[in-house]
Chain A
Amino acid sequence: MSSIPCAIVGVGQTHHKSRRLDVSFGGLVREAVFRALDDAQMTFADIDAVVLGKAPDLFEGVMKPELYLSDALGAIGKPMFRVHTAGSVGGTTAIVAASHVQAGKHRTVLAVAFEKQSEGNAQFALGSGKGASLGAGGAFAPFIRSYIHRSGAPEHIGWKVAVKDRLNALKNPYAHLQIADISIEKVKASPMMWEPIRFLESCPSSDGACAMVLTDEAGGLAAAAAGRPPAWVLGASSRSEPPSFPGRDPVRPQAALMCAADVYKQAGITNPRQQIDMAELYVPFSWHEAIWLEAFGIAEEGDGWKMIDDGTTELGGGFPVNCSGGVLSTNPIGASGLLRFAEAANQVRGAAGEHQVEGANVALAMAYGANSQYFSTWAVGSSLTPYA
């Protein structure tokens, strides 16, 4: 099945904070959108369709924000789509936008995702508006306990990820958490929130947005000719599975394995560890780095934590992960997935600034959502044929 090549020619994001009280909803998303349009040297007039993703409406209490924001996003008279896949939604938003280009339906598509967590409360929203919400940490702690048990990983692995991602965030001016004195001791000393997850092993609540301009092969080649290298979509996939059934394994969810296999097949990747230069993995709690390294075939089952222990996933290591600081440093939930996809694109464009991986040609981005049951992943390259 052949499709039209899709290029990412513009990426933008807001400065992320606990509370962006200086902007309205519309002002927040437009901050990211104008950065992406400027990066693409485009205006709203160049956009043929808009795709918006965010977490469930209970987070801010605005029903159908895609309709409310249609004029803020320059979408009047144009197709406007909303994507809903819980925490993975930002990634799925990029994939839906890419699908429109790849199908030849729309030439240039604006993908936007945001969350303004300060307007509501994540625990309230995740608990469906009732008391005794487990929150994401409570929901995922049992999965992490199972991973630690079956892999035999030592407890300092989680602390190491927490430190690594915050050190990376110090190189990213947009990142929310900027903890200059982050250290293993500081992580260890932070309060236990959801055993075995400590406070500093957890993601923050952020206000923020991310936007991306995707276009067709001609648009990508034109950007490249003008000295603005695009990222090319090598493979993109979404998979889901039911939240619970006897035999379900949330540490190696079937949907994650299928999602990875589909992307690797499309991209011609047979050895992810060797053929991918860096990854932005959705890691809201430190241990998820090890869990996803394994589920996405970058490490053998049971070995993901060893790549963390020996420094392989550090910036400068053999397989850097979350050079941007990741979800652990910045978490505007709906945008968190799109930020992963955008950071991967920027890495292969050579546009990642201080947290650039030297010579990155192929990057992987993934996001997951709900009860570890929705997965979105793409691989992007500095060319359409990185292995030629």
Chain B
Amino acid sequence: MTRFVESTITFPYKRSLGPVVGMFMTALTEQRILGIRNGTDVIVPPMEWDPATGAELAHDFVEVGPAGTVESWTWVPKPSAQHPLTHPFAFAFIRLDGATTPLLHAVDAGSASALSVGTRVAPRWKGTRIGHITDIDAFVLGETPEVAGPDHGPSETPVSMMEYQASITYNNPVPVAADRVVEASKAQRLLGQVCPVCARVYAGGRGYCPIDAVELGTEHEVDLPDKGTITNYALVTPVQYPGQTETEPFARVFVLLDGTDVILSYQPVIELAASDVHVGVRVAAVWASPAEDIDEGAAMGGAYGALIGWMPTGEPDHTDPDLVNRIF
């Protein structure tokens, strides 16, 4: 059975809104909803261009609503963490009074039976508004806008930026070949695969030869030595981005395994300062102890499983002048 490894990546993206959407967001903090004129149409939310032709629109804003009419809707019986409300609600196309296009938003209607095409709704504003479409908490039944809780007033400065906390969770299948190298690593074995066509050897559980496009299976497995020589390296000054795990300059090295043509790429080094990394250093694999947590997801390049890095053996450097050209 295929094993899956879950991974989540998140990032706080920053959007510059531009002159038109910025105006719309600023108005939301003032409990006003703006559209933009496009000929006889009023587009809500406003756009910078005519959606049909791409023609630039003049900044001719029109206040619409605040109440409007439901044109179409769908009930959300089990909201997820990313939905705007925690209890069942509707997503609806709402044609605000004075607009010619519908706005998509949430309607807090209590039950699906309270909604029909033509239902009149009005915004329930959040008390704290930052210039985001969720400054409207949801629309509620009736003609009268509400404010949820104490009103903290409009933004003191025009809104020009929006933060967007993106998050996505993957369930990655671990290929059989990758699973086997992780298992072998727990027994302190470096497992490789030999291509039956070109005889190239691949480490890290690749599972195929990219030159011959052939699949590599258990019958192609071979044990690799766990000693080698640093051929080349990257010294990285870490940039502090959200999710960065490094604070100090760090090294990643390429290791040519003894007696083979196999390079393990982008390997961490242990007990070797970044400033002491150089071509020719003799190194041996360092394995996690059985008690330690290991990364069960095999990476293409980099350390994997119980292989946590490489440390100097203390032997004299190798001085082959061509070593530095062995990167892959």
Checking A21, A193, A244 against B161 with a beta-carbon cut-off of 8 angstroms, the contacting residue is A21
Cβ B241 vs Cβ A124 within 8 A = yes
The A112-148 residues at the B interface (CB cut-off 8 A) are: 116, 118-121, 123-124, 128-135, 137-139, 141-143, 145-146
The A54-74 residues at the B interface (CB cut-off 8 A) are: 58, 60-61, 71-74
Stretch at the interface among B9-17, B136-144, B151-159, B176-184: B9-17
Q: Residues of A contacting B261 with CB < 8 Å? A: 246-247
Residue of A nearest to B260 (CB): A246
Bound CA span A249–B14, Å: 38
State the Cβ distance, B249 to closest chain A Cβ, in Å: 9
The residue among B14, B47, B164, B254 with the most chain A CB atoms within 10 A of its own CB is: B14
Q: Residues of A contacting B252 with CB < 8 Å? A: 134, 138
B173 at the A interface (CB under 8 A):
no
Q: Residues of A contacting B13 with CB < 8 Å? A: 60-61, 119-120
Bound CA span A75–B54, Å: 8
A271 at the B interface (CB under 8 A):
no
Cβ A119 vs Cβ B235 within 8 A = no
Cβ A129 vs Cβ B210 within 8 A = no
Q: Residues of A contacting B327 with CB < 8 Å? A: 142-143, 146, 248, 250
Q: A119 and B53 in contact (CB under 8 A), knowing A139-B234, A143-B327, A245-B328?
A: no
Q: A249 and B325 in contact (CB under 8 A), knowing A61-B164, A128-B9, A133-B241?
A: yes
Q: Residues of A contacting B11 with CB < 8 Å? A: 58, 61, 120-121, 124, 129
Bound CA span A73–B265, Å: 42
Q: A242 and B241 in contact (CB under 8 A), knowing A71-B54, A131-B246, A141-B235?
A: no
The A131-167 residues at the B interface (CB cut-off 8 A) are: 131-135, 137-139, 141-143, 145-146, 149-150
Residue of A nearest to B160 (CB): A21
Bound CA span A131–B244, Å: 4
Cβ A244 vs Cβ B265 within 8 A = yes
Report the number of A-B residue pairs with Cβ-Cβ less than 8 Å: 164
The A255-294 residues at the B interface (CB cut-off 8 A) are: none
Q: How does the 8 Å CB contact mask read for B13-24 relative to A, with 1 for contact and 0 for none?
A: 111111111000
Q: Residues of A contacting B16 with CB < 8 Å? A: 19-24, 116, 118-119
Bound CA span A128–B302, Å: 13
A76 at the B interface (CB under 8 A):
yes
Checking B200, B237, B244, B324 against A194 with a beta-carbon cut-off of 8 angstroms, the contacting residue is B237
Q: Residues of A contacting B234 with CB < 8 Å? A: 134, 138-139, 141-142, 194
Checking A19, A129, A246 against B263 with a beta-carbon cut-off of 8 angstroms, the contacting residue is A246
Q: Residues of B contacting A25 with CB < 8 Å? A: 15
Residue of A nearest to B324 (CB): A149
Cβ B210 vs Cβ A135 within 8 A = no
Cβ B15 vs Cβ A119 within 8 A = yes
A30 at the B interface (CB under 8 A):
yes
Bound CA span A22–B252, Å: 39
A173 at the B interface (CB under 8 A):
no
Q: A244 and B328 in contact (CB under 8 A), knowing A72-B54, A138-B252, A141-B235?
A: yes
Checking B20, B210, B301 against A242 with a beta-carbon cut-off of 8 angstroms, the contacting residue is B210
State the Cβ distance, B145 to closest chain A Cβ, in Å: 28
Bound CA span A131–B153, Å: 40
Cβ B18 vs Cβ A27 within 8 A = yes
Cβ A138 vs Cβ B18 within 8 A = no
Q: Residues of A contacting B19 with CB < 8 Å? A: 22, 27
Q: How does the 8 Å CB contact mask read for A185-219 relative to B, with 1 for contact and 0 for none?
A: 00000011111000000000000000000000000
B262 at the A interface (CB under 8 A):
yes
Cβ A74 vs Cβ B200 within 8 A = no
Q: Residues of A contacting B10 with CB < 8 Å? A: 129
Bound CA span A132–B240, Å: 10
Q: Residues of A contacting B54 with CB < 8 Å? A: 30, 44, 71-76
Q: Residues of A contacting B146 with CB < 8 Å? A: none
Cβ B238 vs Cβ A132 within 8 A = yes
State the Cβ distance, A194 to closest chain B Cβ, in Å: 6
B304 at the A interface (CB under 8 A):
no
Q: How does the 8 Å CB contact mask read for B234-267 relative to A, with 1 for contact and 0 for none?
A: 1111110111111000101010000001110110
B211 at the A interface (CB under 8 A):
yes
A26 at the B interface (CB under 8 A):
yes
State the Cβ distance, B230 to closest chain A Cβ, in Å: 11
State the Cβ distance, A70 to closest chain B Cβ, in Å: 9
Cβ B301 vs Cβ A72 within 8 A = no
Bound CA span A250–B263, Å: 14
Cβ A250 vs Cβ B245 within 8 A = no
Residue of A nearest to B250 (CB): A132
Cβ A247 vs Cβ B325 within 8 A = no
B1 at the A interface (CB under 8 A):
no
3 residue pairs, one from A and one from B, having the closest CB atoms: A131-B245, A74-B54, A24-B18
Q: Can you list 18 A-B pairs with a CB-CB distance of less than 8 A?
A: A23-B16, A23-B18, A27-B18, A30-B54, A61-B166, A71-B52, A71-B54, A131-B244, A132-B250, A133-B239, A138-B252, A142-B232, A142-B254, A146-B324, A194-B235, A246-B328, A248-B328, A249-B328
- Interface residues, chain B, with chain A CB atoms under 8 Å away: 9-11, 13-21, 47-49, 51-56, 160-161, 164, 166, 200-202, 209-211, 232-239, 241-246, 250, 252, 254, 261-263, 265-266, 301, 321, 324-325, 327-328
